[in-house]
Amino acid sequence: MLTQPDIAALLITLKLAATTTLILLLLGTPLAWWLATTRSKVRSAIEAVIALPLVLPPTVLGFYLLLAFSPDGPIGATTAAMGLPSMAFSFWGLVLGSAIYSLPFVVQPLQNSFAGLGRMPLEVAATLGAAPLDRFISVVLPLSKLGYLTAAVLGFAHTLGEFGVVLMIGGNIPGETQVLSIAIYDHVEALEYSQAHWLAAGLLLCSFLVLLMIYSANRRFHLMKTA
């Protein structure tokens, strides 16, 4: 059934998806808030940039990241100047790639959720004397629970199934950059079809459970609201 490297790949995949989702929620919150509230003219341009990873084929994105990570590339030169190891073939390189790749899946639900709040709750909180940060934490966050749930699950699930970006920048190092999708691909290429089936079934089941979780939470949330 599952071999030791397969289990390592599963763990790396979960760690990658969880880390990426956490980082995207932290960075995505101010970004989505700004997009939802600003009247700036550059808003549309920023929105378009955030949606770009949806258009670009993942292997293409991965290829350009690989070039950027090289010693002459912008990211590679920066990390070298800071005395950091290269991002290529490392777990943190994968996190960066996944964060770019899954960015729209986290920012867009958050932005929609923030925009849907309207100005009323915040203005009421302000008249009651709440400071901006307090307004955000005690008014916006609780009201945007569903948006956060959707963003987290979409970001997580999208990173679980990631293949092209990792293929290009990972280097297939067991326990470091060898993720589930790559392990499945390797099994197929090596004609080890039964192992590929086991892993693929595991990935499908995992994804199904994650999606089931969000949809049932979504339903319960709506029932609560209407009750």
Place of tokens 């960066």: 96
Binding residues with other proteins: total (CB under 8 A): 24
Stretch that binds other proteins, among 22-30, 60-68, 144-152, 198-206 (CB under 8 A): 60-68
CA distances from 141 to 37, 56, 149, 201 (A): 15, 32, 11, 36
- Cβ atoms 19, 101 nearer than 8 A: no
Interactions with other proteins, residue window 86-105 (CB under 8 A): 86, 88-89
- Least gap, CB of 111 to other proteins (angstroms): 35
Question: Binding residue for other proteins (CB under 8 A) from 1, 120, 189, 223?
Answer: 189
**184 lines the binding site for other proteins (CB under 8 A):** no
For residue 208, give the amino acid letter.
F
**67 lines the binding site for other proteins (CB under 8 A):** yes
Question: Binding residue for other proteins (CB under 8 A) from 125, 167, 179, 184?
Answer: 167
**82 lines the binding site for other proteins (CB under 8 A):** no
Question: Binding residue for other proteins (CB under 8 A) from 28, 53, 76, 155?
Answer: 76
**71 lines the binding site for other proteins (CB under 8 A):** yes
**161 lines the binding site for other proteins (CB under 8 A):** no
Long-range contacts of 213-222 (CB under 8 A, 24+ apart): 213/153, 214/149, 214/150, 214/153, 214/154, 217/146, 217/149, 218/146, 218/149, 218/150, 221/145, 221/146
For residue 43, give every residue at least 6 positions away whose Cβ sits within 8 Å of its Cβ, in sequence order, or none.
35
